Amino acid sequence: MTMPATESFSPPLRIRCAFAAALGLLALACGPAVRIEPEPKRETTADAGVASAVEPGGKVKRKKDKNKTKKGEDVIRVTTSPAPNGMQLVHHAGGDTLIPARPRRIAALTGVDELLLLGIRPCAFPTSWDVVRSYEREGTRGSTPLTTLYGALDPPLEALFDTRPDVIFTSGNLAQVDRLSPIAPVVVFTWPGGNGADDIADRVREVAAVAGVPERAEPVIAAYEAKLAESRALLRQRLPRGETVAILRVRQKRYWVFGTWLGDLLYDPEAGLGLTPAPFVRERLLANDENQMLVDPELLPLIDADHLFVILDPMTNTDRQTAALEEVPHWGDVPAVKKGNVYYVSQSNWLTGGILVRSVQVDEMVSALLHEGRFATPDPTPDSRRAAIDAMFKDRDAVIRKSLLPDKFEGCE
């Protein structure tokens, strides 16, 4: 059992120096840091304890194993119980940990989405390439961004140490507990596979309980579910019946068509927007439980969708050069291309799955499909599509139709 002090403290300089020296020795022993660019794997949701079925009309209905993570590991639910002296005992995958009943300084390596919607400012949070997403800026103002190189097992430990956290939130990697626990008590969340309505709600409830604000969970869940229902109804009213949708990711001259990954949000009639998948997506991916499929460029015209979302990495210039796909034979024959219904979006807003990001994805999906905001002008020509790509690279901020974030944030005092 981890037994922290009941209030935050600033360690003496000699301890801080010793800690930094230890980090330096560890770096020397392990050699220089190497940046590794991970490639998305072609995998099926069956590997993660998730199954899906294609219903009549092309809808996909996900059947999730709520006892498995995305990696197929057992889910251990996070629960709490009261403890004396203003403390609480948290029961989680890493064991039982004693923390303040209402921690004021939370270092969130996971659960940032949930904390922000609960009105709690994390003292530290992870970033990619030091880029803070637009909808996180206000809620993380004054917090410490933690950028981890690809392939690293840990965040920058000295920066994390300097935030003087009461507790550290992490997910799934039990090996991190021993490395992080000298800094502060650690709570390990093991999220279920999938991002359906139940999964989203469970994440909010668990984070709210550990953060000491369980009463805030249900209003957050209700607001998200109401927004999803309103968006689904709006699309049914305004989008022509039977029009199909697909998602393509472009990454360093390689192309992935998404199936169950983000498919629940697009296609599920209950936990998503209830849209119709393109025949290629329905027959090649959803029917076979495929998460995503790597396809050769010459096969891209087979994505016979009326609307196509193209996910780009705005930090990678090769994506800017290849995303237009104008040199692909018969690319102009794809219905979405002919109609100008190709929508370029940033992977920083589309490749994670907390409740806040899901809310943003709903906003961008609806805005694009209804041609609002940045997506207001169709792009039916090669020049207009290249201009749309350039515009997205210059302005990566998400399109927000209805924010669920509170007006004020507390914590990290």
What are the tokens at 217? 């969970």
Non-local CB neighbours of 4 within 8 Å, separated by 6+ positions: 98, 99, 100, 166, 167, 184, 185
38 and 133 belong to one structural domain: no
276 and 396 belong to one structural domain: yes
249 and 117 belong to one structural domain: no
145 and 50 belong to one structural domain: no
5 belongs to a structural domain: no
- Residue numbers of the domain that contains 180: 76-190
What are the tokens at 259? 């199936």
| β pairing state of 254-258 and 244-251 | antiparallel
What are the tokens at 11? 């360690």
Q: Residue 301: pLDDT band by 50, 70, 90 thresholds?
A: confident
* Residue among 29, 232, 207, 58 at smallest CA distance from 120: 207
Q: How many residues does the chain have?
A: 413
Domain boundary among 140, 164, 190: 190
181 and 291 belong to one structural domain: no
What are the tokens at 402? 């209805």
331 belongs to a structural domain: yes
What mean pLDDT comes out for the span 328-340? 86
CB–CB of 326/292 below 8 Å? no
248 and 397 belong to one structural domain: yes
Q: Which CATH number is 243's domain given?
A: 3.40.50.1980
CB–CB of 166/106 below 8 Å? yes
Distance, CA of 396 to CA of 334 (rounded, Å) = 26
CB–CB of 411/121 below 8 Å? yes
14 belongs to a structural domain: no
51 and 102 belong to one structural domain: no
Count of Cβ atoms closer than 10 Å to residue 403 Cβ: 15
Distance, CA of 150 to CA of 61 (rounded, Å) = 33
Distance, CA of 182 to CA of 391 (rounded, Å) = 45
**Dihedrals φ, ψ of 189, to 5°?**
-100, 135
* Residue among 390, 403, 280 at smallest CA distance from 344: 390
323 belongs to a structural domain: yes
335 belongs to a structural domain: yes
125 belongs to a structural domain: yes
281 and 334 belong to one structural domain: yes
Residue 337 has pLDDT above 70, yes or no: yes
Q: Residue 105: pLDDT band by 50, 70, 90 thresholds?
A: very high
More confident residue, 298 or 160: 160
* Residue among 182, 202, 185 at smallest CA distance from 194: 202
CB–CB of 51/44 below 8 Å? no
56 and 136 belong to one structural domain: no
Torsion of the alpha carbons at 395, 316, 150 and 260, rounded to the nearest 10: 80
141 and 102 belong to one structural domain: yes
Distance, CA of 220 to CA of 222 (rounded, Å) = 5
334 and 359 belong to one structural domain: yes
Give the predicted TM-score (pTM) of the model. Answer: 0.80
Domain boundary among 167, 190, 213: 190
Residue 71 has pLDDT above 80, yes or no: no
More confident residue, 13 or 382: 382
What are the tokens at 125? 């949070």
Top-ranked range on mean pLDDT: pick from 10-14, 31-35, 362-366? 362-366
161 and 307 belong to one structural domain: no
Q: Residue 320: pLDDT band by 50, 70, 90 thresholds?
A: low
Domain count, the chain: 2
